[in-house]
Structure 1
Amino acid sequence: MSIPQNTDKQALISRLAHDIINLGRNSLFIALRFLDLAFFQFTLEEDRQIEGLRADGRTVFYQPLFIIREYQAEHQRPARLLLHSVLHFVFRHPFVGEKIIRPYWDLACDMAVENSIAEAGIKQAVTARQKQQQDYLFRLKKELPLLSAERIYRYLLDQKPDAEELAAAARLFFQDEHELWYGVGGENTAPNEQETARQTSDAPQPEREKTEGGILPLRLPPSEDKELAERWQQISETVKTDLETMSREWGESSGAFLQNIREVNRDHYDYADFLRRFAVRGEAMQIDDAEFDYIYYNYGMELYGNMPLIEPLEYKEVKKIRDFVIAVDTSASCAGETVQLFLDKTAAILRQTESFFREIRLHIIQCDAALQSDALITSTADFRDYLAKMQIKGLGGTDFRPVFDYVDQLIAGRQLTNLKGLIYFTDGYGRFPARRPAYETAFVFLDEGREPPPIPPWAIKLVLDRREMERLPGLAAGRIHGEKVENEWEKEPQ
């Protein structure tokens, strides 16, 4: 029995397509050794039911004829397609927050990946369309210092491009299909144009803010895929470490790769929880429910009517802040409005979480290359007055050492007796002390789209998202942002 000719043809097409895409993977593996773990996480499998290429985190599915035609048009195209799809998972794009506008997210992810490939200058993946993309990306870089998917997505939310503009950009940056990211019938299936317009234009601002704030949170996938999400988180962190090790060899071409991987793998903190680590133990006037015996209380009330046999303790041991130092960098590179924003939000968090003892010693120190001022805060009223009258002094260079020398003098003079820690708000460009201080120190940065400079190993680094900070309730928001708000400091602590 003879084998049908079309069967031979299909087998030839399958073998040829497999050889082409496997050749592309091997060439990329040689050029990008830091991605070896990511490349070989995938198996390659043909799928004649699709039109192009797609991936689910375990398998790359491809249409054989599509791969052959792409190779005929440009030999580098299959490698570019494969690299593009793999980088989506390295940057953890498929594990996205539940509330997104899919056309915006798909475009943002494609832009971030294509920009990373272009900046890396990988000759095995250079295609003609890359030149057309560069004109668009050049204009976008004027608005965004870092082209990560999250930042591009927020930019699209703000700009609200019309359907025609969105479709044109999608055609320019489209490489692979994203259907497997969302699942059939899931909440994130693609909306039509009317639904997209309704979500972007008519949605209440609080709903839009849920998708705008900070790095989009990872969505926990179904139980069978939770392991996959965790696996790609590990791979992404490994790639980050390997690329940082090889960054000298790659030079500036590794910039977009590193920025995207660092952004998605950056630790995120609750700023209020972070401040609590600087608290010390002490007694405060507060009912201690943990030490209260309800049995004797109820027995007395039942026996005598209005006479409990035991009263709750009026003092409770709690952890609050007694001595604390906040230093602010007032050099020319650290904007005054940014400093005001940080102090305003910090004060609000401390006030709302009742993190202060009633008697406190809080030093707010301004310093550029030299110590400029020290304001001693001993009450909530002092803090309120300081925020109302604060003037930024300095605007010169940056040297962190004068602050630490000054704090050491305060400790030696017993003006600070229970100092737990110091928070230094800065952009990071300055000279650090040569030795570790006797108290915990944290350097706090606002995320401006750049990787903060390295800090000494004895210090804590905290990067806060500016948009998240701006949405926190503040005390002096009316002065900083031009809005009239209620002043929470007028209320006495409970």
Structure 2
Amino acid sequence: MEYREELRSIGERILSETRTELYLAMHFLGPALGSLSPVMDLSTTTVGTDAAFIRFNPKCLMTKYIEHPYWLKRCYLHMLLHCLFRHMFAGKAYDDPELWNLCCDIAAESVIDSMDAPVIQRPVSEKRNAWYEELRTGAGVLSAQRLYRYLSEGERDYRKEAAMEAEFVMDDHSFWERLDPPDAPAPKEQPEGAAAMPLIATKRLKEEEWKKLANKVRLELTLGREAGTKTGEFLRFLAYDGSQRTDFHEFLKRFAVTREESFIDPDSFDYGFYNYGMQMYGNMPLIEENEYREATKVEQLIIVLDTSASCQDFLVQEFLNETASMLLKGDHFFAKTKIHIIECDDKVQNDIEITELSQMEEYSKHFCLKGGFGTDFRPAFAYVEELRRNKKIEQPRGLMYFTDGKGIYPKKQPDYDTAFVFVKEEDPDTSNVPSWAMKLFI
């Protein structure tokens, strides 16, 4: 019993040290790193996760810690990516679980190989690079979903898949199969004996938790701007993965200001009148609702639309519809606001000023694309500076530039927040987006 406890303790210390090293190197993973507790599990010979725990065989961890310490950090991050991309929850939708597992491993490894972080970096073999090139040509994006679709179509090459498994498999996926059905009742009691260990949490609850954690990590990267080569393809995969749309509410908080607005508030009143009524009439409080309240909302915003030939008009229309819906249904903007909508290809084609939220819906309905030439993002920024010099706008709070990513970016960072907005289903090229700009996906 003492020997077993010693093994468990050593394994937990190894994983704790590994987690700390990853956090020190990649702070943006903070919200997710603390979500997997270590549990010794002798049903595996290696290590794996069920989205609630990291289940490990201590002998495997000790061997790797001594002989291949870098492997532990890569494997820990590999398992974390499975959780953030929610691979273990999507497997039921695919007919071939073995192929799905392989695709998940390739997706996770491709992200890790794209990161420029010494803590997990290792030379990428020519064989692995050749496979990446072949798979990108066939699948486009190396997400598990795209890879499965590509590899399952046509004639299967099982020998090649076996070679890929030897190259990309890192962790034990058998724990994924133990996830209970989404609507299964929670078990009432713990199994006895050697099998007694923390039970795998319900699938539905864990999936929701990891959706929220993925959003937190994505916001940490986009708003905190800890991007660049260190994160590689990670942010792009987070945006591409799943069906979650961009959380515009969190994004717009960055541009919000606090001021008073007209609003009858029945829940608040002047305590002076209340006290006067009680003193004068005994039990007759005088209550008058406040007609103003303090609110933190967006007062001014600049939206630039890429109207070049490469950016299809239906994509621009989709973005406008999304934005109009956000303005009308949400509580993010003051009733009186100022939104500039600038249409630009390689020069500014049009500038529409929106002062009433209802105008946005009309503009969206009757939008007609002007331009259709090359793509240069710089004229829009120069035009904003011209508006400022001519006192037509005040200090901008933020600028959103909707584009497909194919164009010339400005080198100089403006003195206001900038976000380039992409349609994630179109596999946009975001590799040249400046490090000072945020990336959003709809």
With the shorter chain as reference, the TM-score category is 0.5 to 0.7
Q: For 2:376, give the aligned amino acid.
A: D
The residue correspondences of 1:440-459 to structure 2 (distance < 5 A) are 440-447=417-424, 448-449=426-427, 452-457=430-435, 459=436
Distance 1:440 1:463, change over 3 A: closer
CA offsets per residue over residues 351-395 of structure 1, 9 Å max, x none?
222333333332111101111111122223321211111011212
Pick the aligned partner of 1:286 from 263, 266, 283.
263
Q: TM-score, normalised by structure 2?
A: 0.57
- 1:461 is matched by which residue type in structure 2? M
The aligned counterpart of 2:317 is 340
**1:144 maps to which of 114, 127, 139:** 139
2:178 maps to 1:178: no
Correspondence list, 1:113-132, <5 A: 122=125
Q: State the SS of the aligned residue for 2:250.
A: helix
SS at 2:430 equivalent: coil
Structure-1 residue corresponding to 2:34: none
Distance 1:53 1:347 in 2: 51
Q: Which residue of 1 aligns with 2:237?
A: 263
Question: What whole-Å deviation, never above 9, does each CA across 1:331-367 have from its counterpart, x for those lacking one?
Answer: 2222222211122112211222233333333211110
TM-fit CA distance, 1:172: 7.6
Rounded to whole Å, the distance in 2 between the matches of 1:107 and 1:420 is 45
Give the corresponding residue for 1:373.
350
Q: Structure 1 pair 403/351, CA: closer, same or farther in 2 (3 Å)?
A: same
d(CA) in 2 for partners of 1:182, 1:294: 59
Contact 1:285/1:314 (CA < 8 Å) preserved in 2?
yes
Q: For residues 145 and 429 of structure 2, what CA distance do their matches in structure 1 show?
A: 16
Matches within 5 A, 1:235-314: 244=229, 258-259=232-233, 263=237, 270-288=247-265, 292=269, 297=274, 308-314=285-291
RMSD: 5.6
1:359 aligns with 2:356: no
Q: 1:108: how far off? A: 2.9
The aligned counterpart of 1:384 is: 361
Equivalents in 2 of 1:302, 1:178: separation in Å?
74
Q: Which residue identity does 1:144 align to in structure 2?
A: A
Give the superposition deviation at 1:110: 3.5
| Superposed CA offset, 1:173-194 (max 9, x none) | 55566346449x54379x9xxx
Q: Which residue of 2 aligns with 1:101?
A: 91
Q: Distance in 1 between matches of 2:381 and 2:255?
A: 17
Asked if residue 397 in structure 1 is aligned to residue 374 in structure 2, the reply is yes
Is 2:110 the partner of 1:110?
A: no
> How many residues get paired?
342
- Contact 1:272/1:350 (8 A) holds in 2: no
Kindly state the Cα deviation for residue 48 of structure 1 after the two structures are TM-superposed: 10
The residue that corresponds to 1:187 in the other structure is: 180
Give aligned-pair identity as a percent. 32
By how many angstroms is 1:311 displaced?
A: 1.4
Any conservation in 1 of the 2:305–2:401 contact (CA below 8 Å)?
yes
Taking a change above 3 Å as real, the CA distance of residues 311 and 150 of structure 1, as seen in their structure-2 partners, is farther
CA deviation digits over 1:26-53, x for unaligned, max 9?
A: xxxxxxxx9xx9xxxxxxxxx9976x86
Report matched runs for 1:45-84 at 5 Å.
55=48
Moved more, 88-97 or 338-347: 88-97
Alpha-carbon distance in 2 for matches of 1:117, 1:439: 32
Deviates more, 1:347-356 or 1:362-371: 347-356
Output the amino acid matched with 2:430.
Answer: P
After superposition, the C-alpha distances for 1:119-162 in whole angstroms (9 at most, x for unaligned) are 98626xx69xx99xx69x95x65663211236547x59xx999x
Report the more deviating stretch, 261-270 or 379-388: 261-270
The answer to whether the Cα contact below 8 Å between 2:341 and 2:353 also exists between their aligned partners in 1 is yes
SS of alignment partner, residue 347 of structure 1: helix
Measured in 2, the distance between the counterparts of 1:339 and 1:285 equals: 34
Structure 1 pair 437/111, CA: closer, same or farther in 2 (3 Å)? closer
Q: Which residue of 2 aligns with 1:66?
A: none
For residues 317-343 of structure 1, give each alpha carbon's deviation from its aligned partner in whole angstroms, at most 9, with x where no partner exists. 223333321111112222222211122
Measure the CA separation in 1 of the matches of 2:337 and 2:263: 17
Q: Is the Cα–Cα contact under 8 Å of residues 324 and 422 in structure 1 kept in the other structure?
A: yes
Cα deviations across residues 275-331 of structure 1 (Å, max 9, x unaligned)? 232233332111357863679759959997996423121011223333321111112
CA contact (8 A) 2:405 2:428 kept: no
SS in structure 1 opposite 2:361?
A: helix
User: 3-state SS of the aligned residue for 1:101?
Assistant: helix
Deviation digits for residues 388-446 of structure 1 (CA, Å, limit 9, x no counterpart): 11011212112222222222232333322363222112233433445443433322233
Q: Please give the per-residue CA displacement for 1:165-220, whole angstroms capped at 9, x wherever unaligned.
A: 8x99987855566346449x54379x9xxxxxxxxxxxxxxxxx99999x96659x
Partner of 1:11: none
CA contact (8 A) 2:46 2:56 kept: no
Q: Tell me, which stretches of 5 or more residues in structure 2 are unaligned?
A: 1-21, 26-40, 61-66, 115-122, 185-203, 218-225
Contact 1:328 1:339 in 2 (8 A): yes
Structure 1 pair 60/280, CA: closer, same or farther in 2 (3 Å)? same
Please say if residues 74 and 112 of structure 2, whose CA atoms lie closer than 8 Å, have aligned partners that are also in contact. Answer: no
Pair 1:338–1:387, CA change in 2 (3 A): same
After TM superposition, the structure 1 stretch with the greater mean CA deviation from structure 2, 402-411 or 52-61, is 52-61
Match in the other structure for 2:198: none
For the 8 Å contact 2:310–2:404, the answer to whether it is kept is yes
1:111: Cα distance to partner? Answer: 4.2
Judge conservation of contact 2:78–2:170 (CA < 8 Å) in 1: no
For residue 304 of structure 2, what is the amino acid of its counterpart?
Answer: A
Distance 1:113 1:188, change over 3 A: farther
Provide the C-alpha distance between the structure 2 equivalents of 1:101 and 1:355, rounded to a whole number of angstroms: 37
Distance 1:261 1:281 in 2: 31
Highest CA radius of gyration, 1 or 2?
1
Show the counterpart of 1:328: 305
TM (norm. structure 1) is: 0.52
Instruction: Say which of 401, 424, 428 aligns to 2:401.
Output: 424
The answer for unaligned runs of 5 or more in structure 1 is 1-33, 38-46, 64-78, 192-208, 220-229, 231-239, 246-256, 470-494
- Letter paired with 2:345: D
8 Å Cα contact 1:283-1:315 kept in structure 2: yes
Residue 80 of structure 2 aligns to which amino acid in structure 1?
A: R
